[in-house]
Chains A and B, each alone.
Chain A
Amino acid sequence: QKEVEQDPGPLSVPEGAIVSLNCTYSNSAFQYFMWYRQYSRKGPELLMYTYSSGNKEDGRFTAQVDKSSKYISLFIRDSQPSDSATYLCAMSAGAAGNKLTFGGGTRVLVKP
């Protein structure tokens, strides 16, 4: 079993819908949680960064961390076709510059 589990999708939604993504993990030492977006044939791009439990909002993106359940989520409101990409969760036990453990990514398709 992998340390970080993520449904590979694809997740297909109509434009304007809310996209809901999540990851589960097994290592209780993880304290730093990140979401990256990766377009096809490009490098991962950092979207959200959260420390410990709680919510964080940035524009159309909301990240939630529930350490008691070892579960993190990313919500994308008012989804656009340009949001079509693979979304990767990542986490580390130390600060964000330490070794990141990634989920396998969820492919999202937003249809116009």
Chain B
Amino acid sequence: DTAVSQTPKYLVTQMGNDKSIKCEQNLGHDTMYWYKQDSKKFLKIMFSYNNKELIINETVPNRFSPKSPDKAHLNLHINSLELGDSAVYFCASSPTRAGTQYFGPGTRLLVL
């Protein structure tokens, strides 16, 4: 059983397009996160939601907009994609705001 799942696994698109990545967790966790991992493997937090409420919003271009329809789902919508958005995006969840984080398999985004 997949604990934290993401779709799609791979996404290849042109500059200027709009795309969405979806994340679902079946662990019953309250808190979910989006991270970006660049080509040098640095993982950097972008957003965090706790029970559908935004609690962490790092310095991320406002072309990126997270949406949490319920506490088991956290989606990431990206407008006007740029070359620099190419990266692996990881979703994670934790039982509470104070719990350890469990990561999904990642979505590889390539912007051409």
Query: Residues of A with Cβ closer than 8 Å to B?
Result: 8, 34, 36, 41-46, 49, 86, 88, 90, 94-100, 102, 104-105
- Complex contacts, B25 vs chain A, CB 8 Å: none
Q: Is the CB of A99 within 8 A of B56?
A: yes
Shortest Cβ distance from A4 into B: residue: B42
- Closest CB in chain B relative to A56 CB, distance in Å: 13
Shortest Cβ distance from B48 into A: residue: A99
Q: Is the CB of A44 within 8 A of B100?
A: no
Q: Is the CB of A44 within 8 A of B105?
A: no
Q: When each residue 87-108 of chain B gets 1 if its CB lies under 8 Å from chain A and 0 otherwise, what string results? A: 0001010111111111111101
Query: Residues of B with Cβ closer than 8 Å to A?
Result: 4, 31, 40-45, 48, 56, 58, 90, 92, 94-106, 108
- Closest CB in chain A relative to B92 CB, distance in Å: 8
The A interface is mostly helix, strand or loop, or mixed, namely: loop
Question: Can you spell out 7 A-B residue pairs with CB atoms less than 8 angstroms apart?
Answer: A36-B103, A42-B105, A44-B43, A46-B102, A97-B95, A97-B99, A99-B58
Known: A86-B41, A98-B98. A45 touches B56 (CB 8 A): no
- Would you list the 8 A-B pairs with minimal beta carbon distance, nearest first? A95-B98, A43-B103, A97-B94, A102-B43, A105-B41, A97-B97, A96-B100, A97-B99
Docked complex Cα distance between A102 and B44 (Å) = 7
